[in-house]
Copies of this chain bind each other. A is one copy, B any other.
Amino acid sequence: MVVVMQERATDEQVQQVIAQLTQMGFDVHRSTGALRTVLGAVGGNRQFDTRLLEVFEGVQEVVRITEPYKLAGRTFKPENTVVSVGDVRIGGDEVIVMAGPCSAESEEQVEASAAAVRRAGAKVLRGGAFKPRSSPYSFQGMGEEGLRLLKSAADRHNLKLVSEVMDLSQIELISKYADILQVGARNMQNFTLLRELGRSRTPILLKRGISATIEEWLLSAEYILAGGNMNVVLCERGIRTFESYTRNTLDISAIPVIHKLSHLPIVADPSHGSGRRDMVPSMARAAVAAGADGLIIEVHTDPDHALSDGAQSLYPNQFDGLMAELRIIAPAIGRAICLEPVTRRGWGV
């Protein structure tokens, strides 16, 4: 930590800050310039609240010189993390596409969606059984029956399954069915939930909160990593800005920033990131071009009658077209999409 004193700070004020730092376990180096004094403090606690010193008399600015997270950072682990879900490797050479309906609605819908996304090249089926809805009057999901349908369809089509867990009471149930547990944007700072997921070994898809800074997002990943679960995949899904034409603003720049700061893989969710079906393909292409390790996309065989998020779900033929475009783009950054020949049917059947 570096404490910059004001130009007019008195020596007494400087001494008070030094005393406080010392008491907190820091080693302090004082550097007195012509205009002002700067104090360097090393050791001490990574989690120190810098504001505690900012409010001291005579202090101009306090600067943290270590990131507040550790396990999630490149300093701790320079090489990329690859999260393996069976034979699906997220963070490796292949861009992994996860797709499927917002929520399970019926056996037919789930089966048709799984077949469609597998045919186009997806490796993971997405689908919710418990839905967090901003209104108490909206459809709240099928519950365990939905999970059963999703798992069964995923198995039939050789897909892994990702599904959202909303509360720690649901972890055990959902883990029985899903290969990846999704933490939604609204739960990104539900620390009770994160801590519990750290005790699991199931891969976690951690969505960024709509107003979370990248640092806060990595701190939330740290909660899971600190518990011993190193299988964390980050998911950018749009931040809230002043622009309201799109539901959220998909922060494409978070992709290269995460690759710089962290070893964890990052995927993008252009469906929630734009909120409108007609914007999804553009944003999906942009995310892959920017270096995303994967995508998670809502696809519905009949979006006009979907019980949730129909407006942002692609029709299967739109998804086919998008996958064809992505196959052109991925090589520009040394990646591939869907390496195996999916047109040859027969997997897992």
Contacts and interface: CB of A to CB of B under 8 A. Distances in A.
Interface residues of A, number: 112
A295 to B, nearest CB: 12
Contacts of A245: 213-215, 257
Interface centre among A193, A255, A282, by most chain B C-beta atoms within 10 angstroms, is A282
Nearest to A34: B42
Given A189-B132, A328-B329, A8 B283 contact: no
A257 B242 contact: no
Contacts of A143: none
Contacts of A29: 31
Interface in A273-314: 273-279, 282-283, 285-291, 304, 308-312
Interface in A29-87: 29, 31, 33-36, 38, 40, 42, 45-47, 49, 51-52, 54-55, 60-61, 63, 65-66, 68-69, 75, 78
Contact of A286 (B69, B166, B290): B290
Chain A's interface: helix, strand, loop or mixed, by majority?
Answer: mixed
Interface stretch (A119-127, A149-157, A218-226): A218-226
Interface of A: 2, 4, 6-8, 20, 29, 31, 33-36, 38, 40, 42, 45-47, 49, 51-52, 54-55, 60-61, 63, 65-66, 68-69, 75, 78, 132-138, 166-169, 186-187, 189-195, 209-211, 213-216, 219-220, 222-223, 226, 239-247, 249-257, 260, 273-279, 282-283, 285-291, 304, 308-312, 325-326, 328-329, 331-333
